[in-house]
Every structure is written in C-alpha cells, then in structure tokens.
Structure 1
Amino acid sequence: MADDHSNEWYYCLKHHKVEPYEGDKASERLGPYSSPEEAARALDKVQERNEAWDNDPNWNDD
C-alpha cells in the first residue's frame, strides 16, 4: 500500500511556486503544508520565524 500524499503541498524554491507532493526534490522545497494557500505563504512564514528568533532574548548571542 502506497503512502497517501494527496494533502501535502510544497513551496518550490527553484520555480517560486506551490506544487503537490510529486514535484522537485526535497532540497529545493519547503513543506509539507496542508493546503496550497499555506504553502504559498512559506516564505512569509520563514521571514516571521527568522525575525522572532532574531529578537528572542533567550537566544541572543551578541
């Protein structure tokens, strides 16, 4: 029985678009996400997390 990847969506860093499980190799994608809309926000999510980590006093290495 094959794994069901029908609800997995990825953001392709190479093509700058959302794609299903059957897409480019994992090293060129972010995900999986549960919807195409969520995958489309992948770069926004990365930026939000980076800003949060940069401003986290528990991880300030200055």
Structure 2
Amino acid sequence: MHSDVMSSSGAGQYYWCLSHHRVETDADKCPAVNRLGPYGSAAEAERALERVEERNAAWDAEDERWNGDQS
C-alpha cells in the first residue's frame, strides 16, 4: 500500500475567502458563508472572483436576449 496517495474525499481543496481576500485550504478555511469553492488548485481559487464576473456577464447577456432587451 502507498501511504502518500491522496483520496478524493476533499483532500487538496482550496477556497477563496471573501472576508480576507485570499486563498484558504481545508486547514484554515473561514465559514462557508464567507468563501467560494472548493477548487482543485490555489490558482483556480485565486481566479474565483474573475470567474464569477465572467459568469454574471454571460447570464446578464442571456437575460437580455431572453427578455428581448437587446438593441
């Protein structure tokens, strides 16, 4: 058996803390209400707010198309 094999049960997860504006891990994460994630890497967590903005823009554009608000 290999003792260095990580399980897929949450090991190595990263979060973006909305309170502290930093990447956090399972060892030091803030309450769920204050964080985004989990993400598979620190780099993904660092991009969390950028991804939220991209998705919101896409959803806003879709709402405009749905509502017929485009000029």
Quote the RMSD (CA, aligned, Å). 1.9
Q: Which secondary structure state, in structure 2, belongs to the residue aligned with residue 18 of structure 1? A: strand
Query: What is the match of residue 13 of structure 1?
Result: 18
Query: What is the match of residue 51 of structure 2?
Result: 45
After TM superposition, where is structure 1 displaced by more than 4 Å over at least 4 residues in a row? none
Larger radius of gyration: 2
TM-score by length of 1: 0.83
Percent identity between matched residues is 47
Number of aligned positions between the proteins: 59
Q: Structure 1: which 5+ residue stretches go unaligned?
A: none
Q: In 1, distance between residues paired with 2:16 and 2:57?
A: 20
TM-score by length of 2: 0.73
Q: What do the CA deviations read for 1:10-37 (whole angstroms, capped 9, x no partner)?
A: 0000000001023100000000001000
Q: Structure 2: which 5+ residue stretches go unaligned?
A: 1-7
